[in-house]
Amino acid sequence: MSHERQFDHECRSCRTRCLLSCLLALGVAVAAPAAELQVQGGWDLTLDGGALIWGAGSDLGPALTSDPAAITVSVINTGGNAWTVSARRASPGWPHGLALNCRRTGEGLGALPLRGGAGFVPITDGPQVLFAGTGDALVIPLQLQVAGLTVRLGLWAHDLSLVLRVEETP
């Protein structure tokens, strides 16, 4: 009988240690920081007569492009893990035929090499992968492009929100 109690006590103790170890492991997993995205810059595109291809009576060029580093992105707190940066449009009422594109124009500092995004990626209402890397990467330059602008769209003002997201990948 005492043998059973001792066995039962050892099993409970083992379960308690196992449960405690699992809870501690879970606590560590929950407390670990997730990758963060820091974004700086933007693009204020204002068109006037100088944007016309041949002056008065002509149309706009096929695409207008921002400075090569109009936006800079830093991916931090990665803990050395792999990650992916994606982008989507978050502006309703975007005129039909108008396209927003984005590309990475450099490597930035830190996690090298980065993968993808060297060519223009069409940005839609759904997430589009721009580029990926492993570990922290700082000051990654991005360039924006608007294609399909025409004088036939008429005068209009539109704010476009570009939503960037970083997601850790396995």
Mean pLDDT by 10 residues, the chain (170 residues): 31 34 35 79 72 56 84 94 92 77 92 89 93 95 86 63 90
CA nearest to 130, candidates 141, 139, 121: 121
Give the SS3 label for residue 131: strand
Query: Residue 160 has which token pair?
Result: 């476009």
pLDDT for res 160: 75
As to burial, measured by CB atoms within 10 angstroms (0-12 exposed, 13-18 middle, 19+ buried), residue 161 is exposed
DSSP of 45-108: ----GGGBSSSTT--B-SEEE--TTSEEEEEE--TT-EEEEEEEE--TTPPTT-EEEEEE----
pLDDT for res 90: 84
Beta carbons within 10 angstroms of residue 134's beta carbon: 18
The whole-angstrom separation of Cα 170 and Cα 168 is 7
